[in-house]
Chains A and B, each alone.
Chain A
Amino acid sequence: MRPAVSTLKRLRGEQRGVTMIEVLITMIILGIVSTMIVGIWISLQHSFYFTQSDNTAATTARTAIDRMTSELRDAQAPNTSTTSPFCLTLSSPYVCDSNDITFYSPYNNPAAAGNTNNNTTGIGAAVLQSIYLDTSGTSPEKKLYWVRDTNGNGVIDSGDTTVLLASNVVNTSSTINKPVFQYILHASPNASFVSATSLSSTNVSQVVAVNIELVVDAQIHKTPTYMDLVYTVRPRNVASN
């Protein structure tokens, strides 16, 4: 080292080095400035992820609600000997209760001619389908699925197409506890409207509308921020009591 320092000194003439105090002060100032910048960076990141997940949750919930209302609005009985668009013959989760709804609907089904179930021809052919919340597992966040009888065998089985409508659905969480589906019943022109959380053979003919409420947690693993969408949809072809 020494020859090099001497060479430098010789080349640059009288030259002072950097004192310890100068270095320390430099480091402290650098520390303050960089802490500030990193802090801003982190808060920027946080802000970005917050906005992103909030928007994702909002979009997911809206899309799911749109899909459910589209299908339910066009719900109709599968044939002329059946009076209700709702299906009560399958087993859980393909039933009509607070977390699940099972019905026939022709929406977006132009290729139904090949369907071997019941009403077989034309664009109006109704297809069995179910929207259900997968309540398995201990996590409070559940997944909402939509399954259609795509193989046309009249039941919902492993051969049918299942679509994920929404994740992080917290309706069933103990702190939220809101039904996804509620059924509005109207028994006769003079009756009052009442709501039910499940359908049976005794009240299925009285359904005039379905309430949908979807609560999605936008900030999983952080302070919960809920996206809570409600909708009331009236299937066009239910009885008009």
Chain B
Amino acid sequence: MKTIRLAVRHERRGGAGGANRRDERGFSLVELLITCVIAGIIFLAMVPLYVNAEKTTSTNNRRVIAAGIAQARIEKIRLLGAVATPTSTSGPTGYAAVNYTNLNSAAFDAGLGGFGQTYTAPGGAVYNVNTTVSDNTPTAPSKTVVVSVNRTGDPIVTSATAVLDNPAAVIVTSTSGTQGVNNPHSLTVSSSKQWQEIKSATVRWYNTATPSVTFTPTPASMSPNAAATSCVWTNLPGGTQFMYIVTVTPQSPSSWGSAETAIPFHLLSNSYEKFDTNPGGS
């Protein structure tokens, strides 16, 4: 068989004569073809890598979408959590509706502009939403809510967690006279529970017009007192330039077995008379 010599030929520098020429070797066609095949296999092996990179990007973005869905659902459940158990018996709403059965029912967030337990995104990806509820210990009547979301076909589950306080337990209301720096303004921290569950409550107010902070401790009469259900501050300055922050330090009652002190929470008013009723909310 005749071998076709191609391309690169070496010539020894300074060499001369036919003897040296005999060493001269190029690549045979067979060698070149084998090289091509091997290179092809290697390149082909790399193609899935690029395809995979695209898939990874898509998958990651789909997980971002899943995280958004979980967080949105948590916010909706917080809405329920922010509403005290109603007196009506027409059906559970508000905090009373925060339980496993209700939150996983198809009807749950129909009124909240939601999509029940399955969400089909534009493009056809299907996301499954599952909510679990458990009693938070030791700070009952709080509930721990976990929303898990995963896309059909994706083993990774994205979840978001929230702890909901029963809004009936601690409520801040404010009453006031005419708006004005020298007019009296009063704040009331009240609880449907006995006051012994609240170790202390203090109020601070910021004067945003001429920056200053004033701190008022718990009124002496409100030192832990099992019979009381509210804590009242009177004669605070009223006016739109004031921001009020009420800090409440809960204390577990003796019925829970130990006198643990829970983490204080703050109720912030950055608008005249209106309070954030969702303490700890994001």
Which residues of A pack against B, CB within 8 Å?
21-22, 25-26, 29, 32-33, 36, 40, 43-44, 47, 50-51, 54-55, 58, 62, 65, 74, 76-77, 79-80, 106, 119, 121-124, 170, 175-176, 178, 182, 184, 186, 189-195, 208-209, 211, 215, 218, 224-234, 236-237, 240-241
**The one of B40, B82, B122, B273 that contacts A175, using a Cβ cutoff of 8 Å:** B122
Closest B residue to A33 using CB positions: B36
Given A51-B54, A121-B241, A192-B111: A232 and B76 interface contact (C-beta under 8 Å): yes
**The one of B65, B86, B87 that contacts A227, using a Cβ cutoff of 8 Å:** B65
B76 touches A209 (CB 8 A): yes
Closest B residue to A74 using CB positions: B270
Is B256 in the interface zone, CB < 8 Å from A? Answer: no
In the bound complex, how far is the Cα of B270 from the Cα of A55, in angstroms?
37
Closest A residue to B80 using CB positions: A193
In the bound complex, how far is the Cα of B122 from the Cα of A218, in angstroms?
12
B50 touches A193 (CB 8 A): no
Which 5 pairs between the two chains have the least Cβ-Cβ distance?
A: A195-B113, A232-B75, A122-B208, A190-B88, A182-B113
Report chain B residues within 8 Å CB of A194.
111
Is B104 in the interface zone, CB < 8 Å from A? Answer: no
**The one of A54, A182, A186 that contacts B58, using a Cβ cutoff of 8 Å:** A54
Nearest-neighbour CB distance to chain A for B94, whole angstroms, equals 7
B79 touches A193 (CB 8 A): yes
Number of interface residues of B (CB under 8 A): 65
A-B pair count, CB < 8 Å, reads 165
A192 touches B274 (CB 8 A): no
Is B209 in the interface zone, CB < 8 Å from A? Answer: yes
Report chain B residues within 8 Å CB of A36.
39-40, 43
Report chain B residues within 8 Å CB of A21.
4
Q: In chain B, residues 81-125, which have Cβ atoms closer than 8 Å to a Cβ of chain A?
A: 82-84, 86-88, 90-91, 93-94, 109, 111-114, 121-123
Report chain B residues within 8 Å CB of A47.
50-51, 53-54
Report chain A residues within 8 Å CB of B83.
186, 189, 240-241
**The one of A58, A119, A175, A232 that contacts B72, using a Cβ cutoff of 8 Å:** A232
25 contacts between A and B (CB under 8 A): A21-B4, A36-B39, A44-B50, A47-B51, A54-B57, A54-B61, A55-B61, A58-B64, A79-B240, A121-B241, A122-B208, A124-B208, A124-B270, A170-B122, A191-B93, A193-B93, A218-B61, A224-B122, A228-B65, A228-B122, A229-B64, A229-B65, A231-B75, A236-B270, A241-B83
Report which residue of A62, A194, A232 has the largest number of chain B beta carbons within 10 angstroms of its beta carbon: A232
Report chain A residues within 8 Å CB of B179.
80
B78 touches A234 (CB 8 A): yes
